[in-house]
Amino acid sequence: MSEYVDLLIVDNDLALDPSNQPRLIDDRACIAQDIAHMIRDSGLLVTLVAERDRLRQRDCIQQMELLVEADERLVPGTARITQLEPGQYLVTAKTLKFGLIEVSL
């Protein structure tokens, strides 16, 4: 049995199965989705993308890492946010029970 269960959100909408019932996600995928929504809801990602000063960008990334670190399902000190290309970021962290998660922003 799964420890964490949530509704799957795709493109800001519920994902439905062929019988129009909401699709569920569990455990590691649930934690990754929660982290993506937490960052989006904080508004820090918009600030980061709009910021041109490298020092302020780094400060914003640090704030997002601290926000992710606050999730008690993650191993403290494992959250990292790296820039893949301008405007695209990868969040990695290790969960206590389910291994490594990756979230693209």
- 8 Å CB contact between 66 and 43: no
CA distance 32 to 49: 21
Instruction: Identify the pLDDT of residue 74.
Output: 95
CA distance 75 to 59: 22
CA–CA distances in Å: residue 48 to residues 8, 57, 82: 26, 6, 12
* Phi-psi domain of 94 (left: phi exceeds 0; alpha: psi -120 through 50; beta: other): beta
Q: Which two tokens stand for residue 30?
A: 């649930």
Count other Cβ atoms within 10 Å, centred on residue 42.
14
For 65-98, write each residue's pLDDT tens digit: 999 999 999 999 999 999 998 889 999 999 999 9
For 6-17, write each residue's pLDDT tens digit: 999 998 899 999
Q: What is the extent of the structural domain holding 85?
A: 5-104
| Number of domains within the chain | 1
For 19-56, write each residue's pLDDT tens digit: 999 999 999 999 999 999 999 999 999 998 888 898 99
